[in-house]
Amino acid sequence: MTNVQERFKSIKTFVFDVDGVLTDGSVNLLESGEQFRTFDIKDSYAIEKALQAGFRVGIVSSANAEGVRKWFGILKVTDLFMGGPPDQKLNAYLGYVTRDSLNESEILYMGDDLPDCTILNRPNVLGACPADAVDEVQAICQYVSPRSGGRGAVRDVIEQVLKAQGKWSVST
């Protein structure tokens, strides 16, 4: 068993970036100027499974679109830290950790781009990224999913953790 598989056994909280992790990084614009993003339903299903299994799921993103907030509401993700400049992601993350007295050695953070590095570089956090994350992020992550952002990377990492803990079930 690899070191990362051992680390999967201790995870209790997933924290995800949005653009490039839960989406493919595309932001589509309507003529009205409204932005919309596309989420993979398999990623969404895995988030629901994680919540049902008692895991915490947090979102830390500089994106602040109302449609994104509504989607997480449908999924029953309540720990949303969205909006603000990308260089403030660490502050949002640390606020979450402090507010809920989280143990960083029990957190898996998945990011894909340079603004995520301040969190991914924290010594106790298990850093993960999609296959199409920028090279600098891939170099510092303990786990690189074989799946791309918005194309099953979140499903992959949640499934890996739940399987490592004996909490992934194919029954409905």
User: What is the tens place of the pLDDT at every residue in 61-80?
Assistant: 887 888 888 999 999 999 99
- 10 Å Cβ neighbour count for 4? 17
- How far is CA 31 from each of CA 39, 69, 71, 137, 139, rounded to the nearest angstrom? 21, 21, 22, 34, 39
If you ran DSSP here, which 8-state letter would residue 82 be given?
E
pTM: 0.94
Neighbours of 123 (CB within 10 A): 6
Q: For the segment 16-56, what is each residue's pLDDT rounded down to a tens digit?
A: 999 999 999 888 888 888 888 889 999 999 999 999 999 99
Euclidean distance between CA atoms 64 and 110, whole angstroms: 18
pLDDT per residue over 130-169, tens digit each?
999 999 999 999 999 999 999 999 999 999 999 999 999 8
